[in-house]
Structure formats: structure tokens, C-alpha cells
Structure 1
Amino acid sequence: MVVIGLIVAFVLVVIFSRRGTRACRWRADRTGDKGALRKYRCAACGAEAFTATDGPPRDCKADVNRPRL
């Protein structure tokens, strides 16, 4: 019975964890704002992103600016 409970708990953690934002720590960079777009820089990976909504981006943008080989 305990093993089944542990398996269910593990599955729920995997389903509800937001891996895309786990390591990101977004900081506002007001000097880079462009009109209604707000600039944010991640303190963990250095990625930059712009949002038009309130608050920082929801997803990690670390792989967006990297060139693919």
C-alpha cells in the first residue's frame, strides 16, 4: 500500500512541476524597455526576454538565443 502511495506521489510531482521555470530568476531591466514591452533578464542563465503582460516571463528562454550547431 505504501509503495502505491509513493508511486502516485511521484507521478503527481512530475505532472505538476514546471520544469521550464524552475531555474529562472527573472529581474526587470527597465533601461531596455521598448514602449509597452518590458525587458527582463534571467539572473541564473543570462537569457533576455520582453513581455507585454504584467510580471516576468513564464518560461525559461535560455535555449532561444543559442545558435544550433
Structure 2
Amino acid sequence: MVLLFAPIIFGIVAYLAWRNREVRGCRWRADSTRDKGTLRMYRCAACGAEAFTASKGPPQTCKKGLGGAPL
């Protein structure tokens, strides 16, 4: 009986992990010393990306690929 439900449970867990893969690795930390007015500065502890947000709370998506190459 357990073997019957194992693939179903595995499928549900795999779907939930796949659904949140864009933000899964990000751990946003607020940096209030670099706030600009109503914009709040956040830095990701996992990938080092930096982002400003005017909404309440940290960014919802990973910003790792934004910014282009350094000069």
C-alpha cells in the first residue's frame, strides 16, 4: 500500500520544490545604512545580489543575474 502512494507523495514534493526554485536559495538581509528615502536596501547572503524595494519585506525574486558586467 505504501508503494502505491510513494510516487504521488514524491510528485507533490517535487512540484512544490520546483515551484519556488527562483527564490529558494536567496536569504535577503536588510542594510538600513544604505536606504534611500522610502527605498529599502537588501543584500542576499547566498549570492551577494543587492536590491532596493519600496514594498514591505525583502524582494520576492532573485536578482543574481541583473546588473551586467562590471566596468
Q: Same fold (TM over 0.5)?
A: yes
| 1:39 equivalent in alignment to 2:41 | yes
Name segments (4+ residues, structure 1) moved above 6 Å.
none
3-state DSSP class of the match of 2:15? Answer: helix
Equivalent pairs, count: 66
What residue is the counterpart of 2:62 in the other structure? 60
Where in structure 1 are there 5+ consecutive unaligned residues?
none
C-alpha distance in structure 2 between counterparts of 1:65 and 1:40, whole Å: 15
Task: Give per-residue Cα distances to partners, 1:18-44, cap 9 Å, x unaligned.
Answer: 111100000000011011100000000
Give the CA RMSD over aligned residues.
Answer: 2.2
Deviation of the 1:9 alpha carbon: 4.7
Task: Report the equivalent of 1:13.
Answer: 14
Measured in 2, the distance between the counterparts of 1:63 and 1:11 equals: 29
Identity fraction in percent: 50
Name stretches of at least 5 consecutive residues in structure 2 with no aligned partner: none
Q: Distance in 1 between matches of 2:43 and 2:61?
A: 12
Match of 2:50 in 1: 48
User: Structure 2 counterpart of 1:54, which letter?
Assistant: K
